[in-house]
Structures are given as structure tokens and as C-alpha cells.
Amino acid sequence: MIRASAPGRVNLIGEHTDTTGGLALPMAIQLGTVVTGERGGDRVVLTSDADDEPLDLPLEIGDPATVSPPWARYVAGVVAELRPAAGFTGSVTTDLPVGAGLSSSAALEVAVALALGFDGGPRELALACQRAERRASGVPCGVMDQLASVAGVAGHALLLDCATLDATTVAIPADVEIVAVHSGESRSLATSAYADRRATCAAAERIVGPLRDIVDVARLDEIDDPVVRRRARHVVSENERVRAFAAALQAGDLQVAGDLMAASHASLAEDFEVSTAGLDALVADLSARPAVFGARLTGAGFGGCAVALCRPGAIDLGWRLRPSAGASVAGT
Ligand code: GLA
């Protein structure tokens, strides 16, 4: 019996930076997805406790984006990437909320890849699952979600350099809690807006070069189009906030860290324009509570969750998230 498990992730800061090889600071969480079963045969057959419809896929997969039921697309994406020699029969269990911005799809991809016998290092695993996600969803996503799920370390967040794929651990202080709260809005526009923002950042890079190399936002004055300039300003300033946030956590300076989260949200709302009225209101509500250091939208935006940094017990709703270990597989 094979048992492969992969965590979801929450991103503390560094949003919409991975697609330009920038910095992000997610942590793997205790909520995740487990795939159990046996290898063999020439089909992948899985049931899921999150979906009534099972999947039954051939190893010779066509276009993953067209298979049914919809959750099977992520599995099909992994099968298309890995081209495994043998199939798999088993079940999927998950305690991750689907579509909340906590990377349920990345957790599914990583767990399936390990169950199918992925043979390679952690970076290759994350990259293969990123490609699977792109095939399945058509979204030109970055590598943050899959890398966080693969590389998570208990008690730590990960400072990810999305150009080199280096993951540096940053300890989460014991006297804080990280809470994700759903806005109640599903991430309806996320797909089209995501591709649009990515294209706009690429347009900025054609003018000023790689955004990850820019430290001084004044360099962006070369960009004439005010929308392109604002999108680029978000990315450049967000990379700097990630560095400052990692340093603040290491110094135990929680209010500085919280203020950086607030600045990140403002930049996502005003410069990158991926927030919603509901997310803005939720972030304002959470931030105003006693013993909350800061809050911001987390994930792609246009709905989904906000994340808050606070003293333990300060927020009595949502998910209290613990920094957790990355994916693993056991059995033969
Ligand atoms: C989604 C993508 C990630 C990342 C975030 C935004 O979660 O899958 O690659 O771009 O949005 O930071």
C-alpha cells in the first residue's frame, strides 16, 4: 500500500511575485491531501472524499483540461507530465477547503505525483506539478504553491526565491498564530485576471528588464503606461516587503511584520488591483481586532482567503494554521 501526503500552503507575503522570479514567503500548513492505494494496471482510478464523482483515466492522456469530472484535470495533468509506467488504484482524502486560496490543487498534484512514483528531487517535483497545474487549469501560474507543498518544514515559513527555487527556512515565533479566514467570495475572476497581470508584468519587463533585479522603484518611471507602471510597482515593492518581513520575523518584531502585511494588501488592492470589496472589508475587520498585527489577502485574489498574523486566540473564526512539514510518501 502506498500512502502519499501533501500539505496545502498559506502565503504570508510575496503575492504575484513568483511569476517574475521574485520572492515569496509561504508556509506549508497542517491541512492537506492524502492519496492511498496500489500501483499497477494501465489506468489511474481514484475516489475522493471531496467529490462524489470518481475518476478513471488512461495513462495515455489527451488534453488534461478537457477531462471529467473537473477535479480529475489536476490528476490528468500529473499523469501527462510524469508519463508513469504503471497506473494506480486508490482513494483521495483531504481536509483542505477547495478553492479558498490554500492550494488544494497543488496538494492534490504533489500527492498524486508521489503516489505515482515520481522519481527526482524536490525542485523537479515542484516544477512538474506546476506544469501539471498549467495544463489542467490553463492558468499560467507560478511555482510558489507546489514548491511550498514540497519543501515545507515544521515550525517554519519558507523564503522562496522563485528564480533559483532556493527555499530558506524562517522560523515562526512560538507566541503568534496565523489564521486564514474566507471572504465568502469564490475566486471567480482569478483565472482571466491572473493571465492579464502576468502579461502586464511581462510588458513591464520588456521595458525595464527583470523586475526581480530592480530595487529602486524610481527605475519604473521609464514605463509610460500608468497601469503597467503600477503593476510593476506592486511587484518591485512586494519583493522588498518579503525581505523586510523575513527579517522582522527573525528579529521577533511582529508589529513591523504586521505593518508589512498591511502594506502588501494596499499594494495588491491599489497597484495590482486583485482585491475585492469583500476582501478589503475582511482585512479591515481582522486588522482592527485587538492583538492582530496585520492582515492581507492571500493567494491570487478576487475572493478566497485573507491571512492574519496575531497573538494566539485573537481571531475566533477561520482556520488556525500551523507551519507544517512538506510532502512525503511511504510504502511500496
Ligand atoms: C496563485 C498561483 C501562484 C501565485 C499566486 C499569487 O496561487 O498559483 O503561483 O502566483 O496565485 O501570488
Which residues, in sequence order, are CB contacts of 155 under 8 Å at separation 6+?
171, 172, 323
**Relative to the CA of 14, which ligand 1 atom is closest?**
12
With CA atoms as reference, report the closest residue to 102 among 169, 154, 155, 30.
Answer: 30
Same domain, 196 and 156: no
Residues 15 and 156 in one domain: yes
Domain span including residue 99? 2-171+324-330
In a shared domain, residues 184 and 164: no
Query: Which residues, 6+ apart, have CB-to-CB distance to 211 below 8 Å?
Result: 20, 22, 201, 204, 205, 232, 235, 236, 239
Q: Examine the domain organization and report whether 141 and 231 are in the same domain.
A: no
The answer to whether 43 and 262 have CB atoms below 8 angstroms apart is no
The strand order across the sheet containing 177-182 reads 292-297, 305-310, 177-182, 319-321
What is the chain's mean pLDDT, rounded?
A: 96
Confidence of residue 321 (pLDDT cuts 50, 70, 90): very high
Per residue in 281-309, pLDDT (tens digit) is 999 999 999 999 999 999 999 999 999 99
Q: How far is the CA of 67 from the centre of ligand 1 (A)?
A: 23
Q: Looking at the structure, tell me whether residues 155 and 11 fall in a common domain.
A: yes
* Ligand 1 pocket: which of 9, 13, 18 to mutate (most atoms within 8 A of CB): 18
Per residue in 117-164, pLDDT (tens digit) is 999 999 999 999 999 999 999 999 999 999 999 999 999 999 999 999
On whether both 48 and 119 belong to a single domain, the answer is yes
Out of 144, 234, 279, mutate this one to test ligand 1's pocket (max ligand atoms within 8 Å of CB): namely 144
Confidence (pLDDT) at 189 = 65
Atom in ligand 1 nearest the alpha carbon of residue 139: 8
- Which residue from 74, 103, 145, 264 has its CB within 8 A of the most atoms of ligand 1, so it is best to mutate? 145
Q: Are residues 116 and 236 in the same domain?
A: no
Going from the Cα of 139 to the center of ligand 1, the distance in angstroms, rounded, reads 10
Do 196 and 315 have their domain in common? yes
Q: Which of 145, 213, 221, 224 is catalytic?
A: 145
pLDDT of residue 2: 98
pLDDT of 191: 82
* Burial classification of residue 161, based on how many CB atoms lie within 10 Å of its CB (0-12 exposed, 13-18 middle, 19 or more buried): middle
Number of domains in the chain: 2
Does one domain contain both 39 and 118? yes
* pLDDT at residue number 165: 98
189 and 308, same domain (yes or no) = yes
Cα–ligand 1 centroid distance for 295 (angstroms): 18
Ligand 1 first shell, C-beta below 6 A = 15-16, 18-19, 141-142, 144-145, 299-300
Geometric angle at alpha carbon 211, from 205 and 274, rounded to 5° = 90
Active-site annotation holds for 145: yes
Say yes or no: 124 and 201 in one domain.
no
Both 166 and 182 in a single domain?
no
- The 10s digit of each residue's pLDDT in 240-277 is 999 999 999 999 999 999 999 999 999 999 999 999 99
Closest residue CA from atom 9 of ligand 1: 142
